Amino acid sequence: MICTMSAAAVAVWLGTVVCIVHAYDTKHSALHGRNVRVEQSVALKQRAAVSRDVVTILSRSHADRNVYPSAGVLFVHVLEREYFKGEFPPYPKSGDPSNDPITFNTNLKGYPDRPGWLRYIQRTPHSDGVLYGSPTAEHIGKPTVIEITAYNRRTFETARHNLVINIKAAEEFPLPYQAEFYIKNMNVEEMLASEVLGDFLGAVKNVWQPERLNAINITSALDRGGRVPLPINNLKEGVYVMVGADVPFSSCLREVESPHNQLRCSQEMEPVISCDKKFRAQFQIDWCKISLVDINKVVPVYVTRPEPGTGILPEFGEYKPPSESLKSRDYFSDFLVTLAVPSAVALVLFFILGYTMCCRREGVEKRNMQTPDIQLVHHSSIQKSTKELRSMSKNREISWPLSTLPVFNPVSGEVVPPIHPDNYETTSMPLMQTQANLQNQITIPQQRPSGKWYS
């Protein structure tokens, strides 16, 4: 039958088989792709389930934040809590109320603390932190990387950022005329606010009239040895603000150096400054603590510092331990010096002291022989009289009188019996007796006088 098939029939049959095989391959590949997609979706769900348990905090901007302060000019960088709130779960949206306590830790990368010119302050965990300071010319062109670590005190989670400080040279560094003011009614974080600092520089510029005026540095009074104020009457710590200008000091600022104002300052009185009213509305300045420095007149002092070494000890060769065959040492001489000699000295002193105290005693007989006879007679008579008086006091039958009370009945003449027995030591009886001690005392009746004048 197959042999009798025509060529056309064979061609049709082969085409049908090829179509069926192609359709099977297409269906199988579709099922395989569907299974792969299902497996991928299951794997993604498992990863999502695992990622819910593990909290990973990443910075919103992985790149380091760069700032470019100038040398000799005050640098202020505020660490805003709002910037770090979105880094802690549950990742609140913008505008959601969140008041978690957040504190900051700042340090130079690779070191435990900040550079010497950079300070940090944060008053409470619910306030922003502030980095401030005045970079010096030594740091020009050297990028300073500060690691900023934020701590969420509620969830105990952290987030870390890097702040790269690129210090550049100023146009005029340093400014030749510098004045430092002490402001009594401000704290350092209040003075670092841009609005407050701008108002103060505006008041100084109005008094000084310079072409260029910069804030050089701000220091808390506590860093200068000041005392922490009492929490009453809204007292402040105080802050020192140094500003620099390119023109000499004005006549108003020079008034502090007058002899009259110096005398008032020595008497702890406020000096009379004509331009004080321009600051009084917002800033209370202690004019006795103002400092005016002209750098052109300052004599530089050069301190020679030793050049630091490489920090590597010189090579002394290989270590040679002592040999195992050590010579024996005789400690007998050490024993004599440390124990025998002090013991011998102590023993000699003991014998000398014993001979002096025991063998050199005079004795009673020798003392009596050296005492005059009249003195011995007086001493003997005094002893005999004392013994006789003591024996007589023991044998008397009348008790001691009670102050001014009589010892017998004035009417009947009856003698009051003694209080103490004969064998009692009467010399130890108190002079003032109380009624509690008179158990054997007979009550003396009071005699009433007779006569017509008495009823």
Cα separation, 79 vs 76, whole angstroms: 10
Task: Return left, alpha or beta for 271; rule: phi > 0 is left, psi -120 to 50 is alpha, else beta.
Answer: beta
The per-residue pLDDT for 260 is 92
Q: Is the pLDDT of residue 127 over 60?
A: yes
Pick the closest to residue 81 from 164, 151, 165, 154 (CA basis).
151
One-letter identity of residue 112: P
Residue 169 clears pLDDT 90, i.e. is over it = no
Three-state secondary-structure class, residue 297 = helix
At residue 340 the predicted structure's pLDDT band, cuts being 50, 70 and 90, is: confident
What confidence tens digit (pLDDT) does each residue in 184-213 have? Answer: 999 999 999 889 999 999 999 999 988 889
Tell me if 146 sits within 8 A of 118, measured CB to CB.
Answer: yes
* Residue 131 to residue 74: CA distance in whole angstroms: 11
Terminal C-alpha separation, the chain:
183
Give pLDDT, residue 326.
76
pLDDT in tens, 128-150: 999 999 998 888 888 899 999 99
Percentage of the chain modeled with pLDDT above 70: 68
What pLDDT, in 10s, does the model give residues 216-241? 999 999 988 888 888 778 888 999 99
* Arithmetic mean of pLDDT over the chain: 75
Predicted TM-score (pTM) of the model is 0.52
More confident residue, 46 or 211: 211
Strand-pair partners of 54 = none
Please tell me the least confidently modeled range out of 193-202, 205-214, 256-265, 307-316. Answer: 307-316
| Mean pLDDT value across residues 266-294 | 90
C-alpha distances (whole Å) from 421 to each of 368, 376, 428, 432, 436 are: 40, 36, 13, 19, 17
Task: List alpha helices for 336-452, DSSP H.
Answer: 341-354, 364-370, 373-395
